[in-house]
Amino acid sequence: MASITIRNLDSAVKEALRRRAAAHGRSMEEEARIYLAELASAETGLAPLAGEAAVAAPPRASSGSLSGKRILLIIGGGIAAYKCLDLIRRLRERGAGVRCVLTKAAGEFVTPLAVGALTADRVFTDLFSREDEHDVGHIRLSREADLIVVAPATADLIAKMANGLANDLASAVLLATDKKVLVAPAMNPRMWSHPATKRNRATLAGDGVAFVGPGRGEMAEAGEAGEGRMAEPLEIVAAVETLLDDRAKPLMGQRIVMTSGPTHEPIDPVRYIANRSSGKQGHAIAAALARLGADVRLVSGPVSIPDPKGVQVVHVETAREMRDAVEQLLPADAGIFVAAVADYRVASAADHKMKKQAGAKAPVLELIENPDILATVGHHAKRPRLVIGFAAETRDVETYARAKLEKKGADIIVANDVSSATGIGTLGVMGADRNRVHIVSKSGVEHWPEMGKDAVAERLAALVAERLQTITV
């Protein structure tokens, strides 16, 4: 596949691409590739119609779990082929585009007419079809799907796959593919437990082919029971969803260290200095990054919200504990510091509860500076590739944010106006469900409109994914 690196995208274009990618649950890289392919189809008239071997585009309006995914279903010649009619329906109702290849034997069990009616597409059967092969159709069929599903996978098809045969369209497609393959075997239990089939299964598993089923139960043949029943269509759909899930995980393998929430700086054993941070924004970002596949380690100050899903959380109280926990979590690919860390702490917190003394002067608390976690990481020997800090200000938000960039060694400062003047929340952004942020980096400022903290989190996670990977299509 040709490789193009996109740089210096106009921010409006970048934003549109980011939104499209998020809506389809894809990385920006994938989205850019698919968008260019769509554009090329429209421009050249090479839309996937008769004679064209591209995998059918999924219904655009769908927002199902498989929205935007293209599945090539290879139907083998077994009794269970009839279940594929239901499988096609289930996949399509989840938003997938389904294109089918039928083996010659499959044609004995289901008709291309029925399959074509359900896929709303033409059905491919013949390796030597002039119509299909004018454009080396089997290669394109194999490459242009997101996933190939073989169901029912007959003993014969499994043997061909394991041995690299390519003497019909189905096997040629399977040999030519560079995509994931999911196999749903269906056969008589004796065929399934035959040493030859066992060897072939092991070979395929070693090649990275995924299996769903078979299950145990009655066979179509009277009096036969055992292991060999094809998985039910919904089980196959679930396996498809799982296998395709990582396509929406552009941060897979990236370790991200984060902070969220306030810190509590003790005055005495029962009193502390704190701030209004609820942890809602930081926790939402941690969850959004985890959904994109990142290995997120969150150091959280004391908050009353649950730990974000899929994130490993270290709970701390004070700024010093937070700094120590963060340093222990380095190295990381990115560090995102959302916590509202107290700038100062009491120089010497009392060991016992401070008592009010009748007639005595009010105590004076001496404050000393707390460690600056963002600056510590921004200038650290183990500095992550990407360092993002949040700046909560109540005035001159952008000016302060720009100054912080340099001083703290950050790549991006997410500035938010936490004053009550924003009209967000009764006491301002802290603790509220909405936020309005400005993304300040060396290349300028992006003003994001007011939106829910979850939406800010989604967009920021997409931005992190974009920053951590060069967009190569």
Residue ranges that bind ligand FMN, judged by CB under 6 A: 76-80, 103, 105-106, 152, 154-157, 186-187, 191
Q: Which three-class secondary structure state does DSSP give residue 44? A: helix
> How far is the C-alpha of 75 from the C-alpha of 98, rounded, in Å?
12
Q: Which three-class secondary structure state does DSSP give residue 233? A: helix
In one-letter notation, the amino acid at residue 151 is A
> How far is the C-alpha of 313 from the C-alpha of 315, rounded, in Å?
6
Q: Which three-class secondary structure state does DSSP give residue 248? A: helix
Token pair recorded at residue 446: 């992006």
Which of 275, 370, 416, 435 is the catalytic position? Answer: 275
275 in active site: yes
Dihedral sign, Cα of residue 331, residue 337, residue 339, residue 340: positive
> How far is the C-alpha of 347 from the C-alpha of 161, rounded, in Å?
71
CB of 187 to ligand FMN, least distance (A): 4
CB of 234 to ligand FMN, least distance (A): 20
Residue 172 burial by Cβ neighbours in a 10 Å radius (0-12, 13-18, 19+): buried
Yes or no: say if 172 and 141 are a contact pair by the CB < 8 Å rule: no
Q: Among candidates 92, 93, 3, which has minimal Cα distance to 55?
A: 92
Yes or no: say if 240 and 319 are a contact pair by the CB < 8 Å rule: no
CB of 157 to ligand FMN, least distance (A): 4
CB of 98 to ligand FMN, least distance (A): 18
> How far is the C-alpha of 387 from the C-alpha of 112, rounded, in Å?
55
Residue 403 burial by Cβ neighbours in a 10 Å radius (0-12, 13-18, 19+): middle
Q: How large is the C-alpha radius of gyration of the chain?
A: 29
CB of 105 to ligand FMN, least distance (A): 3
CB of 195 to ligand FMN, least distance (A): 16
| Choice between 79 and 139, CB closer to ligand FMN | 79
Q: Which residues are catalytic?
A: 275
